[in-house]
Amino acid sequence: MTVMRRLLPISAIVVAAAVAVAFTAAGSSGGGRSVTTAGHGVVTVVPDEATIDAGVRSAAATAAQALSDNAAAMTRVIAAVKQVGVKSIQTQEVSLYPQTNARGHVTGYVAQNTVTATGSIANAGRLIDAAVGAGANTVDGPTLGVSVQSALYRLALQRAVDDAKAKAKALAKAGGFGVGRIITVSEQSTETPITFAATAAGKAPATPVEAGTQDVTADVQVTFALS
């Protein structure tokens, strides 16, 4: 019991010292008293773009034949996708490699060509169907996005600063002090999560694609002077 009576005051002193250091650090920022809060801003929108990767994989006995067959098929795929309507289309991969058996002997060749196509969300299903109908045998996507991403992110940044200020005011009310001007503000790295909802885009019999909603987010750290 004697040992416990001696330890308790020491613990209290350590805690008091830690609190004192925290207040000193806050008070020394920018040469005066300050408070720092983190802000999070969100802008929820419906995606208006869809991106797909469509490719053709062709196998033949010779490398020349595999590449020739692949080029012919991929030309048809690109034409079909363009006919649906795309904002951009870009070749991502052209490859040619041998196939071998268990003994390592070459038995044939495989050619692969893949393009990335971006179009409106309303045409997402039609893009997939057009690519497959024209001969594509590999399809990835769609990846949904927003055409005005930069403008929406700037709006999310503004909301993040407002959120940080609201938090600072809440702390001020609890602590009995006022919030003054912004001393520093820094942008924090963030990712854009996508949430899908049951809102179908495209018309039957196109492959159904759900537009859902996309959250454009921003995070900031703001230091306010205390008044």
Question: Is 49-145 a domain of CATH 3.60.20.10?
Answer: no
Q: What pLDDT does residue 29 have?
A: 40
Contacts of 203 (CB under 8 A, 6+ apart): 125, 126
Q: What pLDDT does residue 189 have?
A: 65
- The tens digit of pLDDT for each residue in 100-149 reads 999 999 999 999 999 999 999 999 999 999 999 999 999 998 999 888 88
Quick check: bond before 205 cis, omega within 30? yes
* Confidence check: pLDDT of 66 > 70: yes
* Residue 156 near residue 43 (C-beta atoms within 8 A): yes
pLDDT category, 1, cuts 50, 70, 90?
very low
Of 51, 50, 60, 57, nearest in space to 114 by CA: 57
Domain-wise residue ranges, the chain:
30-46+148-226, 49-145
> What's the mean pLDDT when you consider all of the chain?
82
- The tens digit of pLDDT for each residue in 146-187 reads 888 889 999 999 999 999 999 999 999 998 889 999 999 999
Question: Is 30-46+148-226 a domain of CATH 3.40.50.450?
Answer: no
